[in-house]
């Protein structure tokens, strides 16, 4: 069957069976069942010991449920998985195997057996040793993590695909913290069947996805990977975080998912050659995701920095150079005009230094004058002076339709400007806690 159609059973099932359902959140099978209660389709808990679980009728086995389901979630120990899988023939279109205890601890025979059964019975497998998935557009949440322990992000345009469940959960927390939202999130673990390539193909066709985060420890077929990553990059903003870079990381990656990490330098240079974006670390990834989820990427590399703190402007200008962005001189006529309207002690260069005597409207004056001369704007508003107020967000909101260029803010995270930051982020202006990080955010939009 067509990959995307078969993955629809996984991402948008109409019916779900849960093998290993439990009655309380003290067991992982109970956590999953609770998370499935929000699902609007049919849910069949399976546990021979109970007649009812969390208000739902419980079934003794897959044979007892009244239909073939789109998705089965298996929350039973590794050793039981082959027999359970055999019982899914004709009863389920896809299956999530959450349990660990396969190739990652040397049980490659068991993993091969699972893979073969899946092929034989024609069921698409996610896992084993995986986190499952989250699709808020479909009220679907198969994670074995309680909501109180991992607050899910809201609906949005970021999709996450991660080999590691731990990193998936960290990415979701970080996306939530940036006030961005998620379209789909999936942890594929040991990838005996569904891997990053299948998921890339699926996300490429997902209308709710604008940005894709992909955390990778190891690859199967490198050539196919490049092909799919290129295809996805052409349609969405794909950001790759590769782990297992050095020898230590590679050893750790192997014992974690049982696939070899391969030579990182090769991977890195091939990605670069094909223009596929790789981020250096977790924080850089999240800063880029924030920008790309808020605003549409654009071309060019000429940046204007407007600041009320000289030193912060210097740090931003330095980072622009590191990122290959040009802090281009103001056009002479515009500079002359700004010198006439601003107090004599403002610095009318690039960065424009509005000094500690700044007023909110000065930013707007500068932006209106320069909106056609630059490709992107870094705005630094240190709220330690009285001239920076919450009105700045309203003013930006008013002029924003006329300034259709990438625009990021740096405002220190010191509690003083909480409302200003949240108002700016509501109108999709990302705010960063340091000058350098704001420049890196802008860089993501200008690539």
Closer to its own copies by Cβ: residue 13 or 412: 412
Of residues 183 through 202, those in contact with its own copies by CB under 8 A are none
Of residues 265 through 324, those in contact with its own copies by CB under 8 A are 281-283, 307-315, 317-322
Among 149, 296, 391, 426, binds its own copies (CB under 8 A): 149
Is 369 a binding residue for its own copies by CB under 8 A? The answer is no
DSSP β-ladder status, 132-135 and 182-187:
antiparallel
Is 376 a binding residue for its own copies by CB under 8 A? The answer is no
Q: What mask of x and - would describe binding to its own copies in positions 232 to 261, judged by CB under 8 A?
A: -----------xxxxxxx-xxx-xxx----
Tell me how far, at minimum, the Cβ of 211 lies from its own copies, in Å: 19
Tell me how far, at minimum, the Cβ of 259 lies from its own copies, in Å: 12
Is 347 a binding residue for its own copies by CB under 8 A? The answer is yes
Closer to its own copies by Cβ: residue 3 or 173: 173
Partners of 95 in the beta sheet?
72, 125
Of residues 91 through 110, those in contact with its own copies by CB under 8 A are 100-101, 104-105
Is 208 a binding residue for its own copies by CB under 8 A? The answer is no
CA angle centred on 119, ends 116 and 125, rounded to 5°: 95
Tell me how far, at minimum, the Cβ of 30 lies from its own copies, in Å: 11
Partners of 187 in the beta sheet?
132, 162
Dig out the tokens for 28 from the structure: 């992982």
Under 8 Å CB-to-CB from 128, ≥6 apart: which residues?
Answer: 78, 81, 97, 98, 99, 100, 101, 102, 111, 114, 189, 190, 192
Tell me how far, at minimum, the Cβ of 323 lies from its own copies, in Å: 10
Tell me how far, at minimum, the Cβ of 411 lies from its own copies, in Å: 10
Is 341 a binding residue for its own copies by CB under 8 A? The answer is no
Contact 48, 60 (CB under 8 A): yes
Among 44, 203, 215, 342, binds its own copies (CB under 8 A): 215
Alpha helix (H) ranges present in 295-405?
A: 310-322, 332-341, 360-370, 391-399
Is 174 a binding residue for its own copies by CB under 8 A? The answer is yes
Closer to its own copies by Cβ: residue 63 or 345: 345
Tell me how far, at minimum, the Cβ of 122 lies from its own copies, in Å: 30
Query: Could you tell me how far CA 150 lies from the centroid of its own chain?
Result: 15
| Residue 59: DSSP 8-state | B
Considering only CA atoms, give the Rg of the chain. 25
Of residues 389 through 428, those in contact with its own copies by CB under 8 A are 412-416
Tell me how far, at minimum, the Cβ of 245 lies from its own copies, in Å: 4
Q: How many residues bind its own copies (CB under 8 A)?
A: 83
Long-range CB pairs of 275-281 (<8 Å, 24+ gap) are 275/230, 275/233, 276/226, 276/229, 276/230, 276/233, 276/238, 276/240, 277/233, 277/237, 277/238, 277/239, 277/240, 277/447, 278/239, 278/240, 278/241, 278/242, 279/239, 279/240, 279/241, 281/241
Among 2, 40, 66, 148, binds its own copies (CB under 8 A): 148
Contact 18, 73 (CB under 8 A): yes
Is 71 a binding residue for its own copies by CB under 8 A? The answer is no
């Amino acid at each position: 069957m067509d990959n995307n159609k078969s993955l629809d059973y996984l991402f948008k099932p109409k019916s779900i069976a849960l093998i290993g359902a439990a009655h309380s959140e003290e067991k992982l099978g109970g956590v999953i069942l609770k998370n499935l209660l929000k699902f609007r389709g049919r849910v069949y808990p399976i546990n021979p010991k109970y007649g009812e679980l969390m208000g739902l009728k419980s079934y003794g086995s897959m044979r007892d449920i009244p239909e073939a389901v789109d998705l089965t979630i298996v929350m039973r120990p590794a050793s039981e998985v082959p027999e359970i899988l055999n019982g899914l023939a004709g009863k389920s279109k896809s299956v999530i195997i959450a349990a660990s205890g396969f190739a990652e601890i040397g049980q490659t025979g068991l993993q091969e057996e699972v893979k073969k059964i899946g092929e034989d019975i024609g069921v698409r497998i996610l896992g084993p040793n995986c986190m499952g998935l989250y699709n808020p557009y479909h009220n679907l949440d198969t994670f074995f993590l309680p909501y109180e322990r991992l607050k899910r992000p809201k609906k949005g345009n970021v999709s996450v695909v991660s080999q590691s469940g731990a990193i998936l959960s960290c990415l979701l927390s970080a996306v939530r913290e940036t006030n961005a939202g998620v379209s789909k999130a999936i942890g594929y673990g040991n990838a005996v069947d569904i891997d990053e390539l299948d998921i890339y193909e699926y996300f490429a066709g997902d209308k709710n996805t604008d940005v894709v985060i992909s955390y990778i420890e190891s690859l199967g077929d490198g050539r196919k990977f490049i092909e799919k990553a290129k295809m996805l990059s052409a349609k969405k903003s794909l950001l790759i975080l590769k782990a297992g870079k050095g020898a230590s990381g590679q050893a750790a990656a192997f014992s974690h998912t049982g696939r070899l990490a391969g030579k990182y330098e090769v991977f890195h240079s091939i990605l670069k050659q094909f223009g596929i974006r790789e981020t250096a670390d977790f924080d850089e990834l999240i800063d880029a995701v924030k920008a790309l989820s808020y605003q549409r990427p654009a071309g060019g590399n000429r940046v204007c920095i407007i600041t009320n703190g000289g030193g912060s402007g210097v740090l931003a200008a330095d980072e622009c150079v590191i990122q290959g962005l040009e802090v281009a001189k103001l056009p002479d006529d515009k500079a002359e005009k700004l010198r006439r309207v601003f107090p004599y002690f403002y610095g009318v260069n690039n960065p424009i230094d509005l000094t500690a005597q700044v007023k909110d409207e000065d930013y707007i004056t500068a932006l209106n004058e320069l909106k056609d001369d630059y490709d992107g704007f870094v705005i630094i508003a240190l709220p330690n002076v009285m001239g920076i107020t919450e009105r700045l967000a309203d003013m930006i909101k008013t002029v924003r339709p006329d300034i259709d260029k990438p625009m990021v803010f740096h405002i220190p995270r010191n509690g003083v400007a909480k409302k200003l930051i949240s108002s700016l982020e509501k109108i999709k202006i990302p705010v960063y806690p340091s000058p350098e990080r704001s420049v890196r955010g802008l860089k993501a939009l200008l690539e």
